[in-house]
Amino acid sequence: MTRPSEDDLIARFFAPLATSAGADGLTDDAAVVPEGEGDLVVTKDMAIAGVHFFPDDPPGLIAAKALRVNLSDLAAKGAVPSGFLLGLGLPPDWTTDFLAAFADGLGRDITAYGCPLLGGDTVKVPGPLTLSVTAFGRATRTVRRRGARPGDLLCVTGTIGDGALGLAARQAERQPATAPDWLRLIAPEERAHLVDRYLSPRPRVALAAAVARHASAAMDVSDGLVGDLAKMMAASGTGARLDAGAVPLSGAAAAAIALDPALRMRALTGGDDYEILLACPPDRLAALRDDAAAANVPLTVIGEVTEGAEVSWTAGGQVLSFGSGRFEHF
């Protein structure tokens, strides 16, 4: 089977996704980021087969996740998406069917999140499929990690732990002999929920404007709630008191933890949540909750920012220890 050339590949699969006038139909070497009010916020994430996703994950979900993890970063800064650049390193065994499914999944998210493709690059690589997404957004007020102040309330969106437990469930789908007992015992729909949350994160784009209005500090939860919170407190020069029992869990995660209580540690320290962790002054909490409800984004208070540098977690009156508490890239 004859493969398309690079120019034909771009024209066939990716030019239809470049809906912004600034992309000029991907016919030039550069793009113009659409104008908008406020700061231009930029973020970048890479994803490599066998490291960040399984090589046999559905192509459309691989593409969507590569974009969504960047949209999660933007939302945590209070930024609404403006567009993105895609770097695509194709391995020797790539096929046009793979690219068609990849582009289809990307196209659905471009429409869903209003984030057009602006440009990028395609190359052949000797190793695994490699993706690089650089996303742009606009924020009327960019919310940094470093703004938390003593007395602020610490909140998270959605539920925590589904991504980390979903990774275990996805691994067991590919290698059933490795499935732990809890995965054999939870209901099929609970297992399916966890896998779906791992494969298809839900970036909280709908809450971006509310983050800009109300949060004193924020970041997305990608490397584990415990470790990411520690990073935010370190950047702010503050400590925190947190109640692990207050951390919101999905029904599926709660069922898994009921079968194996040690999974609570994995839920709190594992990655792939892509929720927003934020600090909010107490007098802004009611307005933040109203905005979250209007955006249909669940929001839960899990603790408080304190003086000093100590970050303490308790559960049922017992002090918890997590080690580094986060996913480590190196």
Tokens of 244: 């692990």
Q: Is 329 annotated as a binding residue?
A: no
120 in a known ligand binding site: yes
Tell whether residue 272 is among the known ligand binding residues.
yes
Q: Is 75 exposed, middle or buried (0-12, 13-18, 19+ CB in 10 A)?
A: buried
Flag whether 52 is marked binding. Answer: yes
Question: Any known ligand binding at 144?
Answer: no
Residue 29 assigned ligand-binding role: yes
According to the annotation, is 45 in a ligand binding site? yes
| β-pairing verdict for 117-124 and 80-90 | parallel
Ligand-binding annotation for 145, yes or no, is yes
Distance CA 165, CA 160 (A): 10
CB-CB contact of 85 with 131 (8 Å): no
239-243 vs 130-139, strand pairing mode: unpaired
- Is 223 annotated in a binding site? The answer is yes
Q: What totals of helices (H) and strands (E) does the chain contain, helices first? A: 11, 11
For residue 220, say whether it is annotated as part of any ligand binding site.
yes
DSSP string, 143-185: PPGGG--TTPEEEEES-SSHHHHHHHHHHHHH-GGG--HHHHH
Per the annotation, where are the binding residues for Mg(2+)?
29, 43, 45, 73, 121, 220, 223
Per the annotation, where are the binding residues for ATP?
120-121, 145, 222
Per the annotation, where are the binding residues for substrate?
52, 272, 327
Per the annotation, where are the binding residues?
29, 43, 45, 52, 73, 120-121, 145, 220, 222-223, 272, 327
